[in-house]
Amino acid sequence: MIASLVFILGVVFGSFFNVVIYRVPLEKSIAKGRSMCPSCGHVLTSVELIPVVSIIMQGFKCKHCKEPISPRYLIVELLTGLLWLASYLIFQDQGPWIVVSACLLVSLCLIIGYIDFDTQYISDSVLLVFWLGRMAVTFFTNEFNWELLLSLLVGAGLYSLIYFGAKAYYKKEAFGMGDILYLAALSSWFSPLNTLILGYGSFFVAGAILLIATIFKKFKFKLKEEVPFGPAMSIMAVILYFWGGI
């Protein structure tokens, strides 16, 4: 019963995360303004905003202009529900606040991963909101200690060294400062050792993503272009966190 409620709650929040993913890169308010069709501007009614159900019933098309609706909206809703469900099933024995902490992490990873993949942009405001949420939870789980602060230093320090080292060697930015801030935020969920594993493991995940993309010729990235690194960190963070909880 509880597991079903967690999944449904995750799907509902996933619908909101779609708003965040769409509006934040455009610097639009996520609190003001009604949701509308990006093609024709039709303001969506409550019937058209039911998570999962509405988009399927409408055949992945706008009810007003019949333009296709990206399946990403459904994917984000279902993926959020599944990740929240996994968080509950894996961490339920460790207490409700640990489950909340896990849900915060997977939500952050999902939002940042999608935004960075689409726009090669990592939002400082999104990182700050989730990081503050994580800090608040640590007071209830007694996780706020010197090890947590050390993890933050390791997370920020690791990518800072790589960032400035690569910049000095290649005479340009190898990746953005947003990646450094993202790892620093993620490190608050991990021990110093796991933060190092997260940082280095993300490079292997990024390599795997590029290899798969090249094989299927789905995405065309060139070495001279910026490659979004946020999705790799997101995937690695979720795997590492869930692996530690199993």
Burial (CB count within 10 angstroms: exposed 0-12, middle 13-18, buried 19+), residue 171: exposed
**Could you give the CA distance from residue 240 to residue 246 in angstroms, rounded to a whole number?**
10
DSSP H or E segment with residue 168: helix 146-170
Handedness of CA 175, 166, 170, 214 (dihedral sign): negative
Low-confidence ranges of the chain (pLDDT < 50): 222-224
- pTM, two decimal places: 0.87
Please give the C-alpha separations between residue 151 and each of 166, 192, 230, in angstroms, as whole numbers. 22, 4, 19
CA atoms within 13 Å, Cβ hemisphere of 170: 12
Q: Where are the domains of the chain?
A: 1-93, 95-246
Write down the pLDDT at residue 216: 67
Write down the pLDDT at residue 157: 74
- Helices within 2-92 (DSSP H only): 2-23, 53-57, 72-91
DSSP state of 32: S
Write down the pLDDT at residue 224: 42
